[in-house]
Homo-oligomer: A and B are copies of this chain.
Amino acid sequence: MDTIGITALIRELAALDYHTMHNRDFLLTWEKADDEIAATFTVAEILRGLRQRNITSRLFDSGLAVSLFRDNSTRTRFSFASACNLLGLTVQDLDESTSQIAHGETVRETATMISFMADVIGIRDDMYIGRGNTYMRQVASAVQAGFDEGVLRQRPTLVNLQCDIDHPTQSMSDMLHIINTFGGVENLAGRKIAMTWAYSPSYGKPLSVPQGVIGLMTRFGMDVVLAHPPGYEVMPEVEELARRQAAQSGGSFARVDSMAEAFAGADIVYPKSWAPFAAMERRTELYDQGDMKGIGALEQELLVQNSEHMDWTCTEELMRTTEGGAALYMHCLPADITGVSCDHGEVEAPVFDRYRVPLYRQAGYKPYVIAAMILLARKENAADTLAAILEGQRPRIR
């Protein structure tokens, strides 16, 4: 990307109504207006262009980004660290096991204690249905209260790095990958995207990926098909939302129970395992009751249920049924690859191998998407800020 290209993107950004993102969190894509979504993509691309041209986009001379991860996640950790580093923020991990963050009062107190100098708080909490997003909102209202009462001089921005409902940094990266692959958002109307369940030998993969995908991709006039075996329903609210958004955007949303039907004529396929929503609700209940034996039994039950659908796998044969036999294959990674990482998995090795480079490119957008979310929340006039950065031409590497 050359300077002219970056300048053009900054001009596009300036025409969007994104100022509403200032001092707001990024928790669910469907809470964001179309212009806000577009602005996020645009800023991500501008940041990518600046870096390619060795222009530093260091917005912060100092500042902290708190990471609060309720599970281990190398990829998310690196994406968040990369985004923060790009902007000049230092990541400080909040280790939950030692941090005593719990319920009620304590969330408020700990949220305040970590926020005195925090510009951003990135949270990943996707383990229990009904919990992750709720927890994020508790933290958000805690820091808002701290700000309103003058305890915090600034209100740190929350970024949802995956919750039980949505995975916005993933779905936005996925979407940016689609936009760039198809040469622009204007080329997406009428394209068919198949978000389909696929068999995995492991249990309980999060629902936030398929939910994030149907909750975002239905806004661009595409024909979105959600496919899964009976019993693998996602959250009904998100499905309802997808249906509504598809209608509004001039696209469509359909649910089918056949992978073949979903793949037929698809421009994009996203085959990926997930756990049934209802089972995940039962799991949260068992967890609340401290019934670890019950959780163990549920896991066994779900593994058996999974194994009845080993034919849900992305094969070369299925790929040939897609549009021109050349649909864009997507995955959030890591994938369960048949014969590579497991005996039977979500995808056949030749399909995965053929799409390795686009898959890695898809993953590569995430740091920029996260950085864009942060930048738009911290700078009311992001276009001006970015124009000044471009003009300044300060090198990232001397």
By a beta-carbon cutoff of 8 Å, the part of chain A in contact with chain B is 51-52, 56, 58-64, 66, 72-75, 77-79, 81-82, 85-88, 90-92, 94-95, 98-100, 104-106, 109-110, 112-114, 116-117, 119, 146, 149-153, 333-334, 337, 340-341, 357, 360-361, 363-364, 366-367, 378-379, 385, 388-389, 394-398
Contacts and interface: CB of A to CB of B under 8 A. Distances in A.
A93 B360 CA distance: 21
A81 B290 CA distance: 36
B397 A388 contact: no
A117 B51 CA distance: 10
Contacts of A56: 61-62
Contact of A397 (B59, B334, B367, B398): B59
B150 A357 contact: yes
B86 A99 contact: no
24 contacts: A51-B153, A59-B398, A61-B395, A62-B87, A62-B88, A63-B85, A63-B397, A74-B95, A74-B99, A74-B100, A74-B110, A75-B113, A77-B92, A78-B92, A79-B116, A81-B92, A85-B90, A85-B117, A105-B340, A106-B334, A109-B360, A112-B360, A119-B397, A389-B398
A363 to B, nearest CB: 6
B385 A151 contact: no
Nearest to A146: B360
A116 to B, nearest CB: 5
Given A51-B153, A106-B341, A337-B105, A86 B100 contact: no
Residue among A60, A62, A363 with most chain B CB within 10 A:
A62
Determine which residue in A82, A109, A398 has the highest number of CB atoms from chain B within 10 A of its CB, and name it.
Answer: A398
B396 A151 contact: no
| Most chain B CB inside 10 Å of its own CB: which residue of A87, A360, A379 | A360
A378 to B, nearest CB: 7
Copies of this chain: 3
A90 B92 contact: no
Ordered nearest first, which 3 A-B pairs have the shortest CB separation? Answer: A72-B98, A82-B117, A56-B61
A398 to B, nearest CB: 5
A236 to B, nearest CB: 33
A378 B357 contact: no
Nearest to A398: B59
Contacts of A117: 51, 82, 85-86, 367
A305 B107 CA distance: 31
A74 B60 contact: no
A58 B137 CA distance: 33
Contact of A334 (B100, B153, B366, B395): B100
Given A59-B397, A74-B114, A106-B341, 10 more contacts: A58-B61, A61-B398, A62-B396, A74-B113, A78-B113, A86-B117, A105-B340, A117-B367, A151-B364, A378-B397
Contacts of A64: 81-82, 85
A76 to B, nearest CB: 10
Nearest to A64: B85
B394 A116 contact: no
Contacts of A61: 56, 58, 394-398
Nearest to A335: B109
B396 A63 contact: yes
Contacts of A98: 72-74
